[in-house]
Amino acid sequence: MAHNQFDLLKTKRFLPFFLTQFLGAFNDNVFKQSLIILLAFNAASMTTLSASTLANLCAGLFILPFFLFSATAGQLADKYEKTKLIKIIKGIEILIMLLAAIGFHFEQLWLLLTALFLMGTHSTAFGPIKYAILPQALTKNELIGGNALVEMGTSLAILFGAMLGGFLIAIKPEGKEFVSIAILIIAVIGFISCWRIPRAESANTELKINWNPITETWRNFLFIRQNRTILLSILAISWFWFYGATFLTQIPNYTKQVLGGDEHVVTFLLTIFSVGIAIGSLLCEKLSDKKVELGLVPFGSIGLTCFGIDLYLATAHELLQVITLLMLF
């Protein structure tokens, strides 16, 4: 048994899975951030839409599959052996990144946005597997630490992916080609690492999959409503990711329009944002004494609110003030 959360990284039952999920999130953000920065600073050469509109469109396209297909992805994770599903998903990721590379090379915005939507779909399919596999691979006392490492890994993947994407796309004039090579290599490495994940059996082989995402999502919602604890937990998690994703999406335009900075300032702000999440994730195990402790949630919510208000007060940009207030209230 692992003595602390970092000891899990030495185990074959956790490390290959951790690397696979880390590389998936890393690749998401290399591609997404390079695309957002490309559009923020070069939108006029590709489309008549404004940089702000394109940034919000990119965020919406990436998140939309989570809303549409999460229920179906959850059913697939329950019905089939999980490592087999992961191999299929990671293989598809390589094809999506190939499509993105073609879009970058020919500067075709519709191909890039299609690839972004497909990467959101890829992450949607992987999400339920990611959290369902942990209880099968870890003991009860390891679960908090394992979740903390996954959360930390996701935050660092966002950070390093955004840094690499921002750095590569800023290289003139070959930035788009460098990004294309990077996302293909990361996808291939992730595909290789997933073959070392130990087998994780199906939870319900007799499950009949409802392929209608609307009716299945509604059925899940009705089921969740019956358990107030689960409902509140889902609402809290959803709000946290919505809050964070909104800030992340606005950072490039905030940097350019408010701070007057360049791509390197974007990367610096993302670094501060992601490192904070990673540190908070690791502290969860210590503060909760390796137990599920909902009492920490109000403190986190208060911190998000107070420092969000501080950001509002620190800027004189009226449009950003409106956006920040909408997110807070």
pLDDT at 56: 77
Residues in the chain, total: 329
Does residue 246 form part of some domain?
no
pLDDT at 3: 59
pLDDT tens digits, 296-327: 677 777 777 787 777 777 775 545 555 555 55
Does residue 157 form part of some domain?
yes
pLDDT at 179: 96
pLDDT at 115: 96
- In terms of DSSP H, where are the helices of the chain? 15-42, 51-79, 82-106, 109-137, 140-169, 175-194, 213-225, 228-254, 263-288, 296-314, 318-328
Does residue 34 form part of some domain?
yes
C-alpha 183/C-alpha 24 separation (Å) is 10
Complete DSSP assignment for 229-295: HHHHHHHHHHHHHHHHHHHHHHHHHHIIIII---HHHHHHHHHHHHHHHHHHHHHHHHHHTTS--TT
Does residue 71 form part of some domain?
yes
Does residue 290 form part of some domain?
no
pLDDT at 182: 97
pLDDT at 283: 75
Q: Is the pTM of this model over 0.95?
A: no
pLDDT at 22: 95
Parent domain of 75 = 5-227+262-285
Does residue 182 form part of some domain?
yes
Does residue 257 form part of some domain?
no
pLDDT at 291: 62
pLDDT at 247: 76
pLDDT at 236: 78
Residues of the chain with pLDDT under 50: 1-2, 318, 329
C-alpha 136/C-alpha 154 separation (Å) is 20
pLDDT at 24: 94
Does residue 202 form part of some domain?
yes
State both tokens at 276: 């904070």
Number of domains the chain contains = 1
**CATH number for position 24:** 1.20.1250.20
State both tokens at 91: 């293989």
Q: Which residues are CB-contacts of 187 (< 8 A; sequence separation ≥ 6)?
A: 27, 90, 93, 94, 96, 97
